[in-house]
Amino acid sequence: MGSASSVLTQYDIEEVQEHCNNLFSQQEIVSLYQRFCQLDRNSKGFISTDEFLSVPEFAMNPLSQRLLKMVDALNFKDFVAFLSAFSTKASIQQKIELIFKVYDTDGNGKVSFDDILQVLRDLSGSFMSDEQREKVLIQVLEEAGYTRDSCLMLDDFIKVFGSVGPNMEVEVPVD
Amino acid sequence: MGGWPSCFGLREEGKLWRSKSKSGDSNRKPPKKQSKPRRNGVQFAEEDDGDGIGDGEALEMATTGTLKPSSSELDLDRPNIEDYLPSGSSIQQEPHGKLRLLGFTPNGFAFPQPRFARYFADLDRGRRRHCRRLVHAMLQVESAGALELEYILVSVVVFRSCVSLSHFVSFESCLEANAILGIGWVIFLSSYIPVHFLLKGHEKLRKKLERFLVELICSFFVASWTGVVKYHGPRPSMRPNQVFVANHTSMIDFIILEQMTAFSVIMQKHAGWVGLLQSTILESVGCIWFNRTESKDREIVARKLREHVQGADNPLLIFPEGTCVNNHYTVMFKKGAFELGCSVCPVAIKYNKIFVDAFWNSRKQSFTKHLLQLMTSWAVVCDVWYLEPQNLKPGETPIEFAERVREIISARAGLKKVPWDGYLKHSRPSPKHRERKQQSFAESVLRRLEEK
């Protein structure tokens, strides 16, 4: 972190804060920036795939490849915007939106049976056969009141999660 | 900067150093009821009773029960300036004048000098242990004594901050540090080489002398960094069937601990001059080598460890984290040290960050650069706590035992525990971690499917 451009000014912090809709406090943004600079070893301005994988928790996550596609080559401002779904102040809808994006493999705004199947493949690896996966999925969809051919939209996801919402909160350590 | 000549001049004993009066010392625990008059507040010298253990310290710990960390100790990252300044009345002369402190601060603040000839004469007379402790005492400070030294150091810092010749100053301090180290090496080599070769027949004496010399050279290393080390707790005793474990921040951990007791260590063989040092000098204290990259290495090393522990050699010092950590956290302890079937004595080390950041990031700088950086810093200030030996409880697995000891060390040194494997610093997590997660997910899903 030696170059002059790695110093955050107050303007920068406020700009980033505005971009993430005030979901992180200024101190949290400073902490996130320190971590960003630690990961971005050659000060390129973004974190490469390899550098993300150097975080052990990330590398062990079965969904790492999917997440990587979403965060690859993001600059700091966009990175914070991506992470804002994990903030304690984020609404349930924002969190579900992120999950929807993870499931929407082909990015067409709809989550089809195949999309979910692919995610399930990542999650279960070699420990389930394809038939088992399909069986599970069909059952899950039926329980929720859908069929194999239905395409889920964001509202469907919100309905399924209900009022509880996913447990997706992370505390940013502040010195 | 004028300090050079006065460093080497002999000054009258006791002129610069005075001990605190009893009344002014509010931070200390109540002094132990000993008849020795030295126990007035601050004590500089160790007992001269020839038993090799800092009795006073140990007894004090025993009587005050479990170590309750004071609030200043818990908040270790904040500078404890209160600790550094003497409270209350003026400092008085240390009556017995046993200890001289060797402190070379970068601007040549000179403290009364040891009389080397006298200490080496003691050696000849066979009172080696006494001599060794006096030499230790001169190079490091007992618990409260560090306060005075740190007080001086703080005033040095203030003084130095008025002098903004940072380049010149750090060059000079490096020069002085190297000078100390150079002298240390000269003394060490001129004693070690004859001892090593001439006393080939008298194994026991040779080993004893070599151990002493290793401790001496480590003390010189510490002095060259202007090291101020506070040792707490009973000094390690040379008994069989025990192993010492400590948290690891830097290579200097080993040197700081070694200057007090000639441990054997288990280390990774390094390249370059460090490797040379390792193979020649550390052999005399009996070291075990391992190679992180070899996978078969583990069984061989485990066997060597067990053999060493059962012998009555120097006690073994192991850093179970397996790698250097930044002194704010502890990572998972490897269980190797805990399944040897002997008692485990934890040692906690905590560096004071205001003076220097002792963490050696081996991926960022080489060891030589790291050492030079330490030499040109103000001082290396750290606390070392020797904690109560622990044994495997019935029904406890070695991994649980390791975690329990980690908890003890982290609590004492004020470090946070993280559930990470230190070796991840060097390599990516193997795919089996991910597979384990996938497996547990798949199993839970299939189980639910069965239930339907």
Q: How confident is the model at residue B321 (pLDDT cuts 50, 70, 90)?
A: confident
- The top-scoring range by mean pLDDT among A4-18, A41-55, B400-414 is B400-414
pLDDT at B75: 37
* Cβ atoms A124, A133 nearer than 8 A: yes
Contacts A171 to B, Cβ<8 Å: none
Burial bucket for residue B444 (CB in 10 Å: 0-12, 13-18, 19+): exposed
Q: How confident is the model at residue B426 (pLDDT cuts 50, 70, 90)?
A: low
Distance of CA B354 to CAs A149, B168, B380, Å?
64, 21, 9
Distance CA A124, CA B100 (A): 68
Rounded to an integer, the average pLDDT of A39-50 is 86
Q: How confident is the model at residue B132 (pLDDT cuts 50, 70, 90)?
A: low
Tell how many helices (H) and how many strands (E) occur in chain B: 15, 11
Bridge partners (DSSP) of residue B416 are B329
pLDDT at A14: 92
Q: How confident is the model at residue A18 (pLDDT cuts 50, 70, 90)?
A: very high
pLDDT at A175: 67
Mean pLDDT, chain A, integer = 86
Of B435, B437, B446, the CB nearest to A128: B446
Q: What does DSSP say about strands B380-386 and B343-351: parallel, antiparallel, or unpaired?
A: antiparallel
Q: Is the predicted pLDDT of residue B42 greater than 60, yes or no?
A: no
Of A53, A124, A135, the CB nearest to B428: A53
pLDDT at B140: 53
Kindly give, in sequence order, each residue whose CB lies less than 8 Å from that of residue B90, ignoring residues fewer than 6 positions away.
B18, B21
Higher-pLDDT residue of A50 and B107 is: A50
Q: How confident is the model at residue B265 (pLDDT cuts 50, 70, 90)?
A: confident
Q: Percentage of chain B surpassing pLDDT 70?
A: 57
Is the Cβ pair B449, A54 closer than 8 Å?
no
Tell which B residues from 408 to 437 touch A, by Cβ distance under 8 Å.
420-421, 424, 428-429, 433-435, 437
* Helical segments of B311-390, H only: 367-375
Distance CA B442, CA A121 (A): 10
pLDDT at B100: 32
Contacts A56 to B, Cβ<8 Å: 420-421, 424, 428-429
pLDDT at B251: 77
Rounded to an integer, the average pLDDT of B64-82 is 38
pLDDT at A17: 92
Q: Percentage of chain B surpassing pLDDT 90?
A: 5
pLDDT at B142: 44
Rounded to an integer, the average pLDDT of B294-309 is 76
Higher-pLDDT residue of B377 and A6 is: B377
Burial bucket for residue B104 (CB in 10 Å: 0-12, 13-18, 19+): buried
Q: Is the predicted pLDDT of residue B348 greater than 90, yes or no?
A: yes
Q: How confident is the model at residue B432 (pLDDT cuts 50, 70, 90)?
A: confident
pLDDT at B55: 36
Is the Cβ pair B442, A124 closer than 8 Å?
yes
Rounded to an integer, the average pLDDT of A7-22 is 91
Name the 3-class secondary structure at B322. Answer: coil
Lowest mean pLDDT: which of B81-85, B221-225, B298-302? Answer: B81-85
Contacts B435 to A, Cβ<8 Å: 125-127
- Cβ of residue A135 closer than 8 Å to a chain B Cβ: yes
Rounded to an integer, the average pLDDT of B283-293 is 72
pLDDT at B171: 63
Name the 3-class secondary structure at B390. Answer: strand
Rounded to an integer, the average pLDDT of B164-177 is 61
Distance CA B22, CA A80 (A): 57
- Pick the residue of B438, B439, B440, B444 with the most A CBs within 10 A to test the interface with A by mutation: B438
Rounded to an integer, the average pLDDT of B288-297 is 70
Higher-pLDDT residue of B87 and B398 is: B398
Rounded to an integer, the average pLDDT of B399-419 is 88
Checking phi first, is residue B50 left (phi over 0); if not, alpha (psi -120 to 50) or beta?
A: left
Is the Cβ pair B437, A61 closer than 8 Å?
yes
Q: Is the predicted pLDDT of residue B393 greater than 80, yes or no?
A: yes
Q: How confident is the model at residue B419 (pLDDT cuts 50, 70, 90)?
A: confident
Lowest mean pLDDT: which of B100-114, B309-323, B385-399? Answer: B100-114
Higher-pLDDT residue of B415 and B51 is: B415
Q: Is the predicted pLDDT of residue B313 greater than 60, yes or no?
A: yes
> Which amino acid is it at B348?
A
Q: How confident is the model at residue B282 (pLDDT cuts 50, 70, 90)?
A: confident
Bridge partners (DSSP) of residue A111 are A152
- The top-scoring range by mean pLDDT among A130-144, B11-25, B47-61 is A130-144
DSSP assignments along B97-141, one per residue: -------B-TT--B-PPP-HHHHHHHHHTT-HHHHHHHHHHHHSB
Kindly give, in sequence order, each residue whose CB lies less than 8 Å from that of residue B402, ignoring residues fewer than 6 positions away.
B320, B332, B333, B334, B335, B337, B338
Mean pLDDT, chain B, integer = 66
Q: How confident is the model at residue A3 (pLDDT cuts 50, 70, 90)?
A: very low
Distance CA B101, CA B151 (A): 14
Is the Cβ pair A54, B433 closer than 8 Å?
no
Rounded to an integer, the average pLDDT of B259-276 is 78
Q: What is the ipTM of this complex?
A: 0.82
Q: Is the predicted pLDDT of residue B242 greater than 70, yes or no?
A: yes
Is the Cβ pair B429, A59 closer than 8 Å?
yes
Rounded to an integer, the average pLDDT of A58-87 is 89
Look at residues B291, B425, B293 and name the one whose alpha carbon lies nearest to residue B360: B425
pLDDT at B26: 40
Distance CA A108, CA A96 (A): 16
Q: Kindly report the pTM of this predicted structure.
A: 0.54
Contacts A136 to B, Cβ<8 Å: 445-446, 449
pLDDT at B78: 40
Is the Cβ pair A62, B446 closer than 8 Å?
no
